[in-house]
Structure 1
Amino acid sequence: MTTSGTAPRSLLRAWSGVAAITASLFVFVTTELMPVGLLTPVSAGLSVSVGLAGMMVTLYGISAGVGVPFLVAWSRTVNRRSLLAALLVIMAAGNLVTAVSPNFAVLLAARLVTGFAHGVFWAIGVAMAMRLVPGDKASKAAAVVLSGMSIATVVGMPLGTFIESLTDWRTTFLIWSGLSLLVLVAVVLTLPSLPSASAVPVREVFSLPLANGRLRAVMTTVALYVLGHFAAYTFIRPYMEQNAGVAPVWVTGLLIVFGVGGAVGNFVAGHTVTRNMRATFVAACAGLVVSLLLVLLIGHGPVGLAVAIVLWGVSFGAANLCQVNMMLAAAPDTFEAAMSLNTMGYNISIALGALLGGVFATGFGTAGAVWFGVALTLAALLASAARRAPSGSAL
């Protein structure tokens, strides 16, 4: 009787831990993407150009990507519960320093350090959740944790933009610092001790694409669409304001629309990717190209923008689900190495996309950043459509 009574409690705690990890992902992803909705007020408040303000996304992405294999290897003996708690402390401190930054240099330094914590979380977070529950529930736990990304896109970033419209951008980051501490408390209360089960050697991460042609193909195509997306998306708020004349409340609403579209894209692709992964990815890339063109062609008013951004969100959500499946399909026997490599490549692409988008936004206006996004997503579409892959391959 004691055993039967204890099992439900243990299972409840396990899923509470999964929920705490999901909340952690929500905080990390929202912190990463928050500047997208705050570029205009941050650039005005710290007297820098909008293009330069995009470096908030660039540096965060660089540290989140480049540092992953090294930091995971160096922390191979650290209890994963303790490591996650430390990452959340860094996240809270980084948001606090961002909120009180006296100048743009200090703000960038805070973003750089916070990005390192973000990258390590991606390398360990999903695996932690899968260890908390029974083996047959591991995939469900992973899906629950990954939903934190959709929640951050649908709720977190638009909420940050809305809070900024009521207060200011400093208060927004201050609130997110406090939220990081609340999630830290949840992690400490719900997660059991999780000794490091395995670490990813740095040499394995960097040697994997050299020996795996399929993985190289996936990485190249994913890098192209992520570069294109973030080159345009990083500057979507100033584009809306300058080209469509929309008010901040419309910016918030359209960002929510994008996030909802992303959740829909994830859901739809979840049903189609198992049937034909390559066709699903090709369709998603085509949707990205068309949606960015629509932003340029009909995005001069709220209605046209809404149509374009719905398609953009759906396409990006579907592409994201595809790229994770393609990465794992290309390297099924080296799961942890593939995950670290995916984290590194994806975040570096975010950083470079924001950087190159900033160059085009500064030189040609915000529409230039969107045109650059069109070119790169078109390259991803052509690469994925032209590649003939055998049945069951990743691309």
Structure 2
Amino acid sequence: MTATHVPPTLTRADTRLPLAALIVMAATVLVVIMTETMPAGLLPQIAGGIGVSEGAAGQFVSAYALGAVLAAIPAIVVTRGVRRKPLLIISLLGFLVANTLTALAPNLAVALAVRFVAGAFSGLLWGMLAGYAMRITPPEQAGRALAIAMSGTPIALAAGTPLGTWLGSATGWRWTFAAMSALIAVVLVAAMALVPDAPGQAEHTRLPFGHVLRLPGVATILGVVFVWMLAHNLMYAYIAPFLKQTNLDVKPDVALVVFGVAALVGLWFTGATVDRFLRPLVLSSVVLFIVAGAVLLGASGSTPLGILAIVLWGIAFGGSATQLQTATGAAAGANFDAAMGLVATSFNLAISAAGAVGGALVEGVGARSLPVAMIILAAVALVAVGFGRRAAFKPVR
């Protein structure tokens, strides 16, 4: 293990993964992703239930993202020295209250305020979960631990969000958020019982955020996070118009399930190799992402080719969060939580930018242009990884 990697703060007599705790963290990630993405599939029900337009209901997603962007860095600054388990419990309680109040919201203003608060708690969780997973894990298995802890993302995309959308369509959108509250309560109890505590960052090791940003490799990794996530979210957010305009006989929900299952494959492969082959893994993933974009570009009218492209896209993207977080840990060392606050901010800025840029492309030149944007942005990420070989994406030993 290199000296820059996040050191474990719990002494372990063996090299076993704390599997139960990591599964609880994966469940936490799952509820965070579902809370963020479910409104996109329930806009008609939300709009009808509150009595607003679908465009206004779409602000459920924007308010959440805004809360995450604005709160991630301040939340990490305030909580860097706080013990990790109480912070996890408080964040889950915040999600529980926010989802419950969303289900009970009498009007749009109250709902958006509560969604903003939920987004703020998500910014806090994204800034601390990866570092927490690494702190309770033997250092030689840090990448594998991250893969398990972050597996909630593809599971949410493949199964959780579609299930929540179906439930909302069948019973009403408020019942979906109520069900989410029940799920969060289960995760909260499991976290209390199964996740060990870990200390926060020692005061004498805390660098200001500006200094963290200037650590060798951190700025390069943040740039890769932004352009790669922007490339992904352009297609993910506008998959429905793309499928329609390219005459692919695949329903959007089916396409997203295929993507999510393929992403699990990519995540599994990342977990098995990231601790030994970080840099080759990132390069291969970005190259495969570009290949997927090229296949999407040529898939017009060919459903089998379109499905192949979605599978390649999912495999390429599935381990991206683990790869980028592992690289961040190697570059930021003891200041990993602070660096993850920057990563979370870059990630959410990419989501916001994808909504605007993707909308302009779809309305302007058509959804067929989305794979071109995917390829160009991923190529920029590939160049950044290539030129960052001295400081960023170093192997974790």
Distance 2:314 2:160 in 1: 15
In the alignment, structure 1 residue 231 sits paired with structure 2 residue 234: yes
Matches within 5 A, 1:345-360: 345-360=346-361
In the alignment, structure 1 residue 25 sits paired with structure 2 residue 26: no
Matches within 5 A, 1:310-321: 310-321=311-322
- Give the structure-2-normalised TM-score: 0.78
Task: Give the C-alpha shift of residue 265 in structure 1.
Answer: 1.4
Q: What CA deviation, in whole Å up to 9, does each residue of 1:292-330 have, x standing for no partner?
A: 343354255653432221111111124333322332333
Matches within 5 A, 1:316-331: 316-331=317-332
Distance 1:251 1:335 in 2: 37
Is the contact between residue 218 and residue 394 of structure 1 (CA under 8 Å) also seen in structure 2? Answer: no
Aligned to 2:220: 217
Q: Which moved more, 1:325-334 or 1:252-261?
A: 325-334
Q: What CA deviation, in whole Å up to 9, does each residue of 1:259-303 have, x standing for no partner?
A: 121121123344555565444323322332332343354255653
- Give the structure-1-normalised TM-score: 0.78
Is the contact between residue 245 and residue 368 of structure 2 (CA under 8 Å) also seen in structure 1? Answer: no
User: What letter corresponds to residue 304 of structure 2 in structure 1?
Assistant: V
Aligned to 2:9: none
Is the contact between residue 215 and residue 331 of structure 2 (CA under 8 Å) also seen in structure 1? Answer: no
Task: Give the C-alpha shift of residue 103 in structure 1.
Answer: 5.4
User: What letter corresponds to residue 154 of structure 1 in structure 2?
Assistant: A
Q: What CA deviation, in whole Å up to 9, does each residue of 1:46-101 have, x standing for no partner?
A: 65466x76654444334324422311232356553333222122212333344455
Distance 1:73 1:383 in 2: 28
User: What letter corresponds to residue 259 of structure 1 in structure 2?
Assistant: G
Distance 2:173 2:330 in 1: 41
In the alignment, structure 1 residue 73 sits paired with structure 2 residue 74: no
Instruction: Tell me: CA distance 1:169–1:289, structure 2 relative to 1, closer, same or farther (3 Å).
Output: farther
Task: Give the C-alpha shift of residue 191 in structure 1.
Answer: 4.3
Is the contact between residue 57 and residue 351 of structure 1 (CA under 8 Å) also seen in structure 2? Answer: no
Distance 2:230 2:98 in 1: 25
Q: Which moved more, 1:264-273 or 1:315-324?
A: 264-273
Instruction: Tell me: CA distance 1:366–1:139, structure 2 relative to 1, closer, same or farther (3 Å).
Output: closer
Aligned to 1:149: 153
Instruction: Tell me: CA distance 1:378–1:30, structure 2 relative to 1, closer, same or farther (3 Å).
Output: same
Is the contact between residue 98 and residue 107 of structure 1 (CA under 8 Å) also seen in structure 2? Answer: yes
Distance 2:57 2:245 in 1: 16
Q: How many correspondences in the alignment?
A: 379
Is the contact between residue 58 and residue 350 of structure 1 (CA under 8 Å) also seen in structure 2? Answer: no
Distance 2:141 2:329 in 1: 19
Residue ranges of structure 1 left out of the alignment (5+ in a row): 1-11
Instruction: Tell me: CA distance 1:55–1:315, structure 2 relative to 1, closer, same or farther (3 Å).
Output: farther
Is the contact between residue 79 and residue 195 of structure 1 (CA under 8 Å) also seen in structure 2? Answer: yes
Matches within 5 A, 1:166-177: 166-177=170-181
Is the contact between residue 54 and residue 234 of structure 1 (CA under 8 Å) also seen in structure 2? Answer: no
Residue ranges of structure 2 left out of the alignment (5+ in a row): 1-15
User: Which secondary structure state, in structure 1, belongs to the residue aligned with residue 150 of structure 2?
Assistant: helix
Aligned to 2:129: 125
Is the contact between residue 59 and residue 351 of structure 1 (CA under 8 Å) also seen in structure 2? Answer: no
Aligned to 2:186: 182
Distance 2:185 2:320 in 1: 32
Aligned to 1:93: 97
In the alignment, structure 1 residue 160 sits paired with structure 2 residue 161: no
Give me the CA root mean square deviation: 3.8
Distance 2:142 2:326 in 1: 16
Is the contact between residue 37 and residue 237 of structure 1 (CA under 8 Å) also seen in structure 2? Answer: no
User: Which secondary structure state, in structure 2, belongs to the residue aligned with residue 298 of structure 1?
Assistant: coil
Distance 2:201 2:388 in 1: 38
Distance 1:383 1:131 in 2: 29
